[in-house]
Amino acid sequence: MKALLRRPSGAIGLVLVAVHVAIAVTAPWIVPHDARAISAALMFSPPDAAHWLGTDHLGRDILTRTMLGGRQALLVTAIATPLAVAWGGMLGMYLGLAGGQRDDVAMRLVDALLSLPWILKMLLMIVTFGAAPQVLVPVLAFFYGVPVIRIARAATQGVVARDYVLAARARGHGRFSIILREVLPNVRDALMVEGAMRWSWMLLAFSSLSFLGFGVAPPTPDWGLMIADSRSFLAIAPWAALAPVAALSSLIIGINLTADALAKALGLDRAHSAPQ
């Protein structure tokens, strides 16, 4: 953490993420207006003293909805990201340690899953089972855990030939014991950086689903949904779209800056963690 904070990019990234998390947690008690209050008299009102970021096509306060718009996305992705890294990392470490035919078959399945556009895969699941958080969490965790398998497997293959792994095998330790005691401590840093990257991609995926109408249902405030609602009025009320775009962008930038600084602080090359 000290090495991370000593880097300007890491400090800036952590501050951006911390501010967004703090706003998401406290927003219900500090927002200036009712997020669902509709007023025909206030439609497309520009920013003023009463509405700092203006109002949208239904007269709703943009600042209020922007402050509340990240709550669902942060909640869902904060649960889905550790799940994706956990199951993808464990399977990747197992395959990297086991090798052989099981590894070959499993990696061909991973290649097949990665060959399909993520949006089509997730839309199929969401259309089938719905867009509730209890559906979005496992869907995001599954599809974004698949690339983690390749990262964890590659990191494990660089560890399995080490003396301490060979000694553990010679002592008769089982595969899962070797994974937990010998492999995981040596690939943990790569998985931490990968988790930070997956978080930012999940946030974009969640907002994209809402933008397409398959995520958060109106009138619940959500950045992707706000952008979708305001895209037809950019010529007359651009502030309605700019606020959620700025909020989502600043959060993604904060996470990516933190991930880059974390990789450098841990002595990792982030190019090795690029999406596969």
* pLDDT tens-place string over residues 7-32: 888 999 999 999 999 999 999 999 99
Residue 219: is the preceding peptide bond cis (ω within 30°)? Answer: yes
At residue 136's C-alpha, the angle toward residues 72 and 114, to 5°, is 125
Q: CA dist 22 to 67, 69, 71, 72, 252, Å?
A: 10, 13, 10, 14, 16
Sign of CA dihedral 139, 143, 149, 152: negative
pLDDT of residue 274: 44
The low-confidence residues of the chain, meaning pLDDT below 70, are 269-276
- CA–CA separation, 263 and 258 (whole Å): 9
Nearest to 92 by CA among 82, 107, 113, 80: 107
- CA–CA separation, 128 and 204 (whole Å): 21
pLDDT of residue 5: 84
pTM of the entire predicted model: 0.88
Indicate the class that CATH gives domain 2-273. Answer: mainly alpha
pLDDT of residue 20: 96
- Three state DSSP letters for 43-103: CCCCCCCCCCCCECCCCCEHHHHHHHCCHHHHHHHHHHHHHHHHHHHHHHHHHHHHCHHHH
pLDDT of residue 269: 59
pLDDT of residue 92: 93
pLDDT of residue 150: 93
